[in-house]
Structure 1
């Protein structure tokens, strides 16, 4: 069984969001990698204050290629685990035959998938903001507290944003690609949060049900109280343990 994991973070984060998860899986015998997207590796506070100018030109395809090249250096095909937009990156990498197994946690949708849900529509419209000419995106404490860290107090949200979040390229979210849902693929699991306002459970379910190849397996699990902040929300170990058992089953 594959014992290598690659974690892929989402939009406005870097690999620091996986710190506790990395330790969790290493303690269970896995070799864990958590590379950041291009131009997002390093100290969060420094990246908040001085983002790399090249970040503004980064596209979805660039990020996928970055991970594809990284995976090619490993000694075995890894288990891929991605959060939020990182889940869509995992879907694309799995389509490219880069995964032994794959897990999408609170995943955003690939191009062509959407739902009629007020929070989903408003949060993503604010995120993409077609009226803004800013090349990068870093949402406010208020936005995070409403759509991501609704499990926390507002003061806790401010601390979370300072510790884990940073500007990201608007082009990455604008250039998200479609997925070939008819193509055979490795074993795939979608994890959704019943309290997720940014990427609600029903968009994760729709994503999972979009796969049509009868020879490939797609599993789905919804944790009722989990928000979009599930990686760092109290009780995150329950989600990590479920994934660990799924991977090993």
Structure 2
């Protein structure tokens, strides 16, 4: 006999972000009856300050290792969670969904998976400082306030960008960027996603002013699902940049995600069941 339980939402951050970036999202989801968790990547410390002090702990972790890390977190849950990921977290969310380890996924500004060919010049410029030096593959790379505002938080004021930098930004491993950049040259790339898996619903969100994952990249990523047999939806917020999950407009993105989950029958008010892991696509 199935029993109702709070659906669990697993938040996954992207490069240069501390898991605390999800603190306001978690509160918003908790208030509506979701259980939430936002474990960090391998090597993330409990605070931003400690993460900055020990970049060597963060360095040299790749996409497969990070995905496996979250798969182990999911294995300890009673049922597959809803996964919400941003940037590289959005790529990992898609991988977990394709592996049927998630009941649904929201991929926000996702890093491109293997098979996505669009790489606009503005996007190349945002990652070139890392990719131009091969030694960064095994190192951790840190944004400056200037580079963070130029690429990551380009759609908001410098003052707000600087405040977000102080609150959330940590070093990030260079390895995932190299793996994504070389994905289409590798038959067994860790950036590979099963686009046509029979799995739960997917919402992909992009920002029209994003310079780290531009709209052209998000468009191309979503087109990879054109043969998918399951629910796949796409939403662009025309005036938003890559910081859309943490800047002053975060609530609009969170509310849209919550409304979409409700439409899929996955909200707590729809009677989440532990028997089926939280629902599947219609």
Question: What SS is found at the alignment partner of 1:61?
Answer: helix
Q: CA deviation at 1:132?
A: 4.9
Question: What SS is found at the alignment partner of 2:92?
Answer: helix
Extract unaligned runs of 5+ from structure 2: 181-190, 264-282
Q: Contact 1:22–1:32 at 8 Å: present in 2 too?
A: yes
TM-score (norm 1): 0.93
Choose the corresponding residue for 1:91, options 94, 117, 121.
94
Q: CA deviation at 1:86?
A: 0.4
* Residue 160 of structure 2 is aligned to residue 146 of structure 1: no
Query: Could you report, residue by residue, the CA deviation over 1:156-185 in whole angstroms, capped at 9, with x for unpaired residues?
Result: 322221211111111233234212223323
Q: Which residue of 2 aligns with 1:190?
A: 204
TM-score (norm 2): 0.82
* Residue 69 of structure 2 is aligned to residue 40 of structure 1: no
Q: Which has the higher contact order (CA 8 A, sep 6+)?
A: 2
Q: Contact 1:60–1:173 at 8 Å: present in 2 too?
A: no
**Max Rg structure:** 2
Question: What SS is found at the alignment partner of 1:91?
Answer: helix
Q: Give the whole-Å Cα distance in 2 for the aligned partners of 1:190 and 1:127.
A: 26
Choose the corresponding residue for 2:84, options 70, 81, 84.
81
* Residue 138 of structure 2 is aligned to residue 124 of structure 1: no
Kindly report the root-mean-square deviation, in angstroms, between the aligned alpha carbons of the 2 structures: 1.8
Moved more, 18-27 or 209-218: 209-218
Q: Which residue of 2 aligns with 1:6?
A: 10
Q: CA deviation at 1:241?
A: 0.8
Extract unaligned runs of 5+ from structure 1: none
Choose the corresponding residue for 1:18, options 18, 22, 45.
22
Question: What SS is found at the alignment partner of 1:11?
Answer: coil
Q: CA deviation at 1:75?
A: 1.4
Q: Where in structure 1 do 4 or more consecutive aligned residues deviate above 4 Å? A: 131-134
